[in-house]
Structure 1
Amino acid sequence: MPETTTHTHSVSDDLRLEWAGVTDRGRRRDNNQDAFLARFPLYVVADGMGGHAGGEIASQSTISRLDAVVDAGTVSAAEVEVALQRAVDDIHEHPETTDEGTGTTLTGVFLDRGDDGWRWVALNIGDSRVYLKRGDQLSQVTTDHSVVQELIASGKISPEEADGHPYSNVITRAVGANELLPPDYVSIDLQDEDRLVICSDGLTKELTDYGILHFLRENPDPATAVDAMVEAALENGGRDNVTLIVVRVLTGGSSSTGSDSED
């Protein structure tokens, strides 16, 4: 795996972002159906599904369409949804994505400037996740679109029972696999030293929320945190492709611990 680098971007005199991202095939899969995009102001992870090369094509098509949104210069919910519809068309037109159920999850955040200043907008389709570390607490920002999440919400199973449930891998929404519904959106204010973790379920299958929090506590630099979490996921079994992005917010007088490379 190539060396992970922390990228930085000065949004304004009092706001700076640092981030790093990585994807790994894991220890049991023949190919990597995950893909990610980490370019200011958009940070997203896609976890593909489908036979043969289908899942890989679905996730890469989605990331490619979103990359074009960044190139165009305006990232918004409306532009994201247009890109996702184009990705669905790409997936359906590709000769290697004819298997029923071929598609991809999508989750992440983009930085948006509203009337009251900068904010994150988290988006989600499927069971890839966004977490927020604020202070010494970690919270899950997104809500999984999955059968087990619906069972948890209805009180039929506990969160502890979800991991071993026979439907633990069944998602209820995806890009390309069914009728495209818009992502769920959650607005997040910015605070100094916030850390966002955007990840596929290849990470959360192997690390608990407490494990993620532990590595964020131990590694302020995003690249170091990303590498530590991937290594731990692989050591814990690496049953799936593992993809994650860590974004760190620095405001006011905070000092950076990462690289000075701009993206």
Structure 2
Amino acid sequence: MKATYRTDQGKVRMHNEDQGGIFFREDPSSMALAIIADGMGGHRAGDVASEMTVSILKKAWEETDLNETPAAIESFLQEQIQIANSELYNHSLTHAECEGMGTTIVAALCTERSATIVNVGDSRCYLLNEDGFKQVTEDHSLVNELVRSGQISKEDAEHHPRKNVILRALGTEANVEVDVRTIVFEEGDIILLCSDGLSDKLSETEIMDILMSGEPLENMADTFIQRANDNGGEDNITLAILLHNFESERG
């Protein structure tokens, strides 16, 4: 598997509240865990929420002897995100400076045969494969609910004044509902995880064109950051790209 991660403050924000990374096993296992967390909250509390979330998942990933079956992976991710939610929520209750903090999360745990995707909030997962390009995750946002219910069009949603209102986040309530699904991940498939600092600034066609460019993943990542900043860069921009190439790695 080839993978790359980027995060950028953008052109407007005073600091970067996004956090993430791509984590591989130290043993010969071919699994990889990619995480993007977009923190929110005053007084830099968003930094705390996103950093805590990534740290909790990364630690559990490194310390758990995980079976590669989709059921085991889904259970692991569900459990760890619930743990992270509880720790964030309790931290916000006991640290006044972190009151109201929270974070979105999108994560992908990839094996040779599949990728299990979890998300809370509006950070996204996209998939490019032989069937085409699609958004795998569903935004937990006000405008997406308005689109789903037919009250506004997808085009209207792009410029809606309450576009950034999210309906689910980690750490804001004692319990959280997590979306989880496992998809086929085969040779040549590409997964993109990103915060809304990217998805709000590029159209789906632009995202697809970059992923289809055939450029090295590092170049794709740099292009994504540059395009988002060229289009305003009002938010932090964070992304992870994973390319399935297990066959070529085995020679």
TM-score range, shorter chain: 0.7 to 0.9
Distance 1:88 1:254, change over 3 A: closer
Helix, strand or coil for the counterpart of 2:139? coil
The residue aligned with 1:103 is: 102
Gaps of 5+ in 1: 1-16, 257-263
Amino acid at match of 2:82: Q
1:87 aligns with 2:84: yes
Give 1 or 2: higher helix fraction.
2
1:78 aligns with 2:75: yes
Gaps of 5+ in 2: 25-31, 67-72
Tell me the CA shift for residue 253 of structure 1.
Answer: 4.9
1:29 aligns with 2:13: yes
The residue aligned with 2:209 is: 214
The residue aligned with 1:62 is: 53
Helix, strand or coil for the counterpart of 1:187? strand
Alpha-carbon distance between aligned partners in 2 of 1:237 and 1:137, rounded to the nearest angstrom: 28
Q: Deviations over 1:170-229 (max 9, x none)?
A: 111110012432421121112221110000000011111111111112244211111111
CA contact (8 A) 2:74 2:181 kept: no
Count of aligned residue pairs for this structure pair: 235
Amino acid at match of 1:78: S
Over the matched positions of the two proteins, sequence identity in percent amounts to 33
Alpha-carbon distance between aligned partners in 2 of 1:200 and 1:28, rounded to the nearest angstrom: 16
CA contact (8 A) 1:125 1:174 kept: yes
The residue aligned with 1:119 is: 114
Q: How does 1:155-166 map to 2 (within 5 A)?
A: 155-166=150-161
The residue aligned with 2:27 is: none
Q: How does 1:1-263 map to 2 (within 5 A)?
A: 17-40=1-24, 41-74=32-65, 76-91=73-88, 92-93=90-91, 95=95, 97-100=97-100, 102-112=101-111, 118-135=113-130, 137-253=132-248
Distance 1:111 1:254, change over 3 A: closer
**CA RMSD for the aligned pairs?**
2.1
Give 1 or 2: higher strand fraction.
1
Alpha-carbon distance between aligned partners in 2 of 1:48 and 1:96, rounded to the nearest angstrom: 17
The residue aligned with 1:7 is: none
CA contact (8 A) 2:77 2:118 kept: no
Amino acid at match of 1:24: D
